[in-house]
Structure 1
Amino acid sequence: MSREMGTNKTDVFIIADNICSPLGRTTQQNFEQIKNGISGVQKHDRPDLSDVPIAASLFKNNEFFVPGTHSYTKFEQLLIASITNALSHTDIKADDPKTGLIISSTKGNISLLETEENNSALQKRIGLNTSAQLIAGHFGFINQPIIISNACISGVMAIVTGMRLIQSGQYDQIVITGADVISKFVLSGFQSFQALSTERCKPFDKNRKGLNLGEGAATVILSGDEKYQGNIRVTGGGITNDANHISGPSRTGQELGDAIIKAMNNAGVKAEDIGLISAHGTATPYNDEMEAKAIMLAGLQKAPVSGLKGFYGHTLGAAGLIETILAKQSMEQNTLLPTLGFQETGTAPLNIINAVSNAAIKHCVKTASGFGGCNGALVLSK
């Protein structure tokens, strides 16, 4: 146990992680690609997904991630591949009664509605609880898996939930994984909002025109075991809601600002302690402006801001996990990652990073916002 802000609070360490994306199958591959300025977002002509060409970060069509089996969907294969890689770096046992499993996704197997007959069997198959049980069974988890599906904050919320479950003593270690795949259903929804850019997105830029979508999976393994002293810790979290609009974000940024402040207070850090903000940065006109206002309301306008969706697109339920893992890597390697596509400020003024640079980062804030007005923030600490 460690003493923070006058109270006993269990340290929660990140002990392993994985990113599985079109940029690579491991965290290190992904980090190196980003440092080299390589983006997974490309132009695609995919009639199976869209009647018009799209800019997105997609795996190759019909690619398999778990060789030798056709019993898992693409969504489930991504989760299995990511968890397998992350677990390989630990001695964690899935069948330990003190090991938990959290799965983050926004859409799961919804794409099956496009290819299968809609009947009661399909309705069961597309349920996130069905996928969760299959994943748990594959690895031998004995505890009931927890599903977090709260729009685009799902990944961040899953990590905050995992931190709190370890601090409460319910689990000693938790495997947190998330994924989403892009389907016609998902694309058409964003197209109906006119939220997609036909070019690679430009977070926080004056000429941003919308977001790109992306596919990916990521896994973070958390532990409260003191033997991991020296690892990056998850030290704080905050969740709020705008109660503003089903799809439009708050115009003031106050509620995301509140989530950031809650997370920093929970972590026992001040604004001047933050060496990096890993932003949600969707590159949509309203979200980026709201997020910039929120960052200023939290007193973080001088902190370096990195938005990575120019590399990955918006990976939905995986986004918070992917971006948290890369923030952790930034802290460990004292490297700030660039906001690809950013050239000229188009929001309330922030300290946007647009080139790889060196910096000592002791604390990092990760933000997320989503449909329904949900907001999340967490703090990572060295």
Structure 2
Amino acid sequence: MKKVYIQSDSMITSLGQTTEENFNNLRKNITGVKMHHTGNIYKELPLSLIDKESFHQKAQAIIEDFGSYTFFEQIMLWSVLDAMAKSSIDPKSKRSIFIISTTKGNVELLKTQEGRQSNEFALWHSAKRISHYFGNPNEPIVVSNACVSGVMAVNTASQLLQSGAYDHAIVIGADVVSDFVIAGFMSFMALSSKPCKPFDDHRDGLSLGEGAGCLILSSEHPSDMSIIGGANANDANHISGPSRTAEGLFLAMQNAMNEAKISVEDINYVSAHGTATMYNDEMESIAIQRCGLQKTPVNSFKGYWGHTLGASGIIEIIASVQSMHENQLIKSLGFEGKEEGEAINVITENTQKELKTIIKTAAGFGGANSAIILQKA
């Protein structure tokens, strides 16, 4: 099988409009999660929102026909354009494939009668608009599988490139905060009234965020960063609750390590899903321990930009890649301590450490779980 390399990347979140801006703020332990008024549903919630005024000022001069795209589509285009500027691949080639990861897309368009009667809210419609913008001749692929969508999309791209079906993949993840998303998570009583605290004993729910990320993968243009393993597993535990034994995530992590042909001793860092809900973080802790990684440094980036849903796996892979380039572990923001049970090694301060091989995890509704392993040359 062919080897798959990460050629370039880009992201936009509340912390910045490029990968570099985001990582600089991560290194400073700055959070983009702030209290915001949420309109008609709830008075105030901690959310991580993109500065739309600043974004519009810059993006409308760069994105052609800017006003014809929704905000969701605009941030995808922005991230791809920035990643493309650092890449040598041809997006118009038949050997290039676009893969879009999202959970809700343009769901807000369903608020109006006109929106409900058009295809504009459909995920495939947005995917085609993005791929057509860049002149790609192939049908784009949409991955929408709850909160594992991002990592699963990268695993899908990696498999397609390994098999030789394509030479390059443009993998994009995006989601935006909307009334629909807020109401949905509120109905699960999953949102915290304060900025989230992943893995902390006193965590009480997640903080929602919005963002977009793009990873450009290639089997033809080597780089110093490669994907050496990946796996998805579904334990079908519950429509919204994770497995109490972490069976699905454990299998995904084990299978990813088996494909990479590495042992737990080779892994320098775990970039966890870490949503700050009671059950998710407990499940992830169990999976990490079952894999024998309880002493390996672990963090969650969600204290910095919240849970960005379909974008989360991709922007967190990008942040992890930056950590590997800089050999720097980033503090898991919001974590203050774990008093009960067998603790995992959550990162409490930014630390310099040689990072050669890492594992990124994701978990989602419906028993979905994914893991991916990255290695630096």
Give the TM-score normalised by structure 1: 0.94
Offset of 1:255 from its aligned partner? 1.5
Offset of 1:97 from its aligned partner? 1.2
Q: Distance in 2 between matches of 1:58 and 1:299?
A: 36
Is 1:11 matched with 2:3?
A: yes
Query: Does the Cα contact within 8 Å between 2:356 and 2:375 map onto a contact in 1?
Result: yes
Query: Does the Cα contact within 8 Å between 2:66 and 2:74 map onto a contact in 1?
Result: no
RMSD: 1.3
Which runs of 4 or more aligned residues in structure 1 lie more than 3 Å from their structure 2 counterparts after TM superposition? 60-63, 115-119
Residue number among 106, 120, 142 corresponding to 1:125 in the alignment: 120
* Aligned residue in 1 for 2:94: 97
**Partner secondary structure for residue 7 of structure 2:** strand
Q: Distance in 1 between matches of 2:90 and 2:157?
A: 17
Query: Does the Cα contact within 8 Å between 2:110 and 2:116 map onto a contact in 1?
Result: no
* Aligned residue in 1 for 2:12: 20
Q: Distance in 1 between matches of 2:316 and 2:237?
A: 26
- Using the TM superposition, name which of 177-186 and 55-64 deviates more: 55-64
Q: Please list the CA deviations of residues 10-35 of structure 1 after superposition, one character each: whole Å capped at 9, or x if unmatched.
A: 21110000011111111111001010
Q: Distance in 1 between matches of 2:294 and 2:66?
A: 49
User: Within 5 A, what are the aligned runs for 1:37-48?
Assistant: 37-47=29-39
Q: How many residues matched? A: 369
Is 1:171 matched with 2:171?
A: no
**Partner secondary structure for residue 152 of structure 1:** coil
* Aligned residue in 2 for 1:319: 312
Q: Please list the CA deviations of residues 338-374 of structure 1 after superposition, one character each: whole Å capped at 9, or x if unmatched.
A: 1001011166410100111100011100000001110
Offset of 1:52 from its aligned partner? 2.3
- Using the TM superposition, name which of 349-358 and 106-115 deviates more: 106-115
* Aligned residue in 2 for 1:86: 83
Is 1:217 matched with 2:212?
A: yes
Is 1:261 matched with 2:254?
A: yes
Is 1:59 matched with 2:54?
A: no
Q: Please list the CA deviations of residues 102-128 of structure 1 after superposition, one character each: whole Å capped at 9, or x if unmatched.
A: 00000000011225535422xx11011
Percentage of pairs with the same residue? 46
Offset of 1:210 from its aligned partner? 0.4
The verdict on how the C-alpha distance between 1:20 and 1:118 changes in structure 2, with shifts beyond 3 A counting, is: closer
Q: Which amino acid letter does the alignment assign opposite residue 360 of structure 1?
A: E
Q: Distance in 2 between matches of 1:119 and 1:152?
A: 25
**Partner secondary structure for residue 178 of structure 1:** strand
Q: Distance in 2 between matches of 1:108 and 1:178?
A: 10
Runs of 5+ consecutive residues of structure 2 not aligned to the other structure: none
Q: Which amino acid letter does the alignment assign opposite residue 359 of structure 1?
A: K
Query: Does the Cα contact within 8 Å between 1:258 and 1:298 map onto a contact in 2?
Result: no
Query: Does the Cα contact within 8 Å between 1:109 and 1:128 map onto a contact in 2?
Result: yes
**Partner secondary structure for residue 67 of structure 2:** coil
**Partner secondary structure for residue 113 of structure 1:** helix
**Partner secondary structure for residue 117 of structure 1:** helix
Query: Does the Cα contact within 8 Å between 1:234 and 1:381 map onto a contact in 2?
Result: yes
Query: Does the Cα contact within 8 Å between 1:254 and 1:297 map onto a contact in 2?
Result: no
Offset of 1:60 from its aligned partner? 3.4
Query: Does the Cα contact within 8 Å between 2:106 and 2:122 map onto a contact in 1?
Result: yes
Is 1:106 matched with 2:107?
A: no
